[in-house]
C-alpha cells in the first residue's frame, strides 16, 4: 500500500509537486502517465526515499516513511524495489552476481542464495543464465534480469519507470504478460510509469495522470 498526502516539492525554483495526493491499495496495479518533465520519475524517487520533500507525507504499508524533509525509513528498509528506465544493471557482474548482490544486501543466509537465484531466473525464463555477462544479453533478456533482481527479495511494492520503452512491440507484449503473471503470484503493489496509454491499460487496474504537480484519474 502507498499513501501520499499533500506533497510539495520545488527544484531550481520550479514547482514539481503542488499538493499531490496518491493512494494505491495493497496489491493494486496503478499506471502513472504524464508529459516529460512532469515529475513522474521524481515521484518514484521520493517513494524510494531518494528525494527530500518541502512538505508532505509518504506512508508505505502503514508506516510513515517520509514526513516533510525527514527520511524516517531509509531506502534499504522500505521493502520495495524499483526498476529504472535504464535498468541500472551492473555490467561488470554476471547475471547471477547482479541478483546475488541484492540478496546479500538484504542479509539473506548464504545457504539460501543459490537456490533463490536459480528459482527466480527460472521463473522469468532465464534458467541457466546465471554465469552470463550483462553485455551479452538482448534488450528483452536484460529486462527479465531487472525483473528477477527486483522480485527476488519478495518486495511488497514494485516501482517501474518506463521499463519497456526501448523494446519492440513483440518483446513488450511478452514482458507485460510476464509482469501480470508475476503480480498474480506475488500480489505486490505496482506503480508503473509509462508514456503509452495502451501499455497502461494493458497492465494496470487504474490509470492516473500527473499534470501541473497534481494527480488525477486519466
pLDDT at 172: 83
Give tens-digit pLDDT for 155-183: 999 999 988 877 778 888 888 888 898 89
**Does residue 67 register a pLDDT over 90?**
yes
Is there a domain that residue 71 lies in?
Answer: yes
Instruction: Estimate the share of the chain in helix, then strand, then coil, as percent rounded to the nearest 5.
Output: 35, 30, 35
What integer pLDDT is reported at residue 95 of this predicted model? 96
pLDDT of residue 137: 92
Query: Tens digits of per-residue pLDDT, 122-168?
Result: 998 899 999 999 999 988 899 889 989 998 989 999 999 988 877 77
Q: What's the mean pLDDT when you consider all of the chain?
A: 91
- What pLDDT does residue 86 have? 83
Would residue 130 count as lying in a domain?
Answer: no
Please give the helix or strand (H or E) that residue 217 lies within, else none. Answer: strand 214-217
Q: Domain for residue 123, yes or no?
A: no
Number of domains in the chain: 1
* 34 assigned to some structural domain: yes
β-bridge mates for residue 7, sequence order:
20
pLDDT band per the 50, 70, 90 thresholds, residue 36 = confident
CATH code assigned at 2: 3.40.50.300
Q: Is residue 215 part of a domain?
A: yes
Task: Provide the domain limits for residue 48.
Answer: 1-78+190-218
Residue 169: inside a domain: no
Residue 216 lies in a domain: yes
Compute the average pLDDT of residues 25-37: 93
- Does residue 136 lie within any of the structural domains? no
Amino acid at each position: 500500500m502507498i499513501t501520499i498526502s499533500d506533497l510539495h516539492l520545488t527544484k531550481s525554483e520550479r514547482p514539481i509537486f503542488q499538493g499531490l495526493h496518491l493512494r494505491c491499495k495493497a496489491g493494486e496495479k496503478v499506471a502513472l502517465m504524464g508529459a516529460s518533465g512532469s515529475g513522474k520519475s521524481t515521484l518514484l524517487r521520493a517513494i524510494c526515499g531518494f528525494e527530500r520533500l518541502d512538505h508532505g507525507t509518504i506512508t508505505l504499508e502503514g508506516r510513515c516513511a517520509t514526513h516533510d524533509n525527514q527520511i524516517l525509513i531509509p531506502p534499504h528498509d522500505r521493502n520495495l524495489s524499483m526498476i529504472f528506465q535504464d535498468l541500472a544493471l551492473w555490467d561488470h557482474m554476471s547475471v547471477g552476481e547482479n541478483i546475488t548482490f541484492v540478496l546479500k544486501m538484504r542479509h539473506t543466509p548464504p545457504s539460501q542464495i543459490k537456490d533463490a537465484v536459480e528459482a527466480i531466473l527460472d521463473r522469468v525464463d532465464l534458467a541457466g543464465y546465471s554465469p552470463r555477462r550483462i553485455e551479452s544479453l538482448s534488450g528483452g533478456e536484460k529486462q527479465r534480469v531487472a525483473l528477477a533482481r527486483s522480485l527476488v527479495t519478495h518486495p511488497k511494492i514494485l516501482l517501474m519507470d518506463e521499463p519497456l520503452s526501448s523494446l519492440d512491440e513483440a518483446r513488450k507484449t511478452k514482458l507485460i504478460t510476464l509482469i501480470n503473471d508475476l503480480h498474480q503470484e506475488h500480489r505486490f503493489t505496482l506503480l508503473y510509469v509509462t508514456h503509452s496509454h495502451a501499455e497502461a491499460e494493458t497492465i494496470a487496474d487504474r490509470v492516473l495522470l500527473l499534470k501541473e504537480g497534481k494527480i488525477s484519474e486519466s
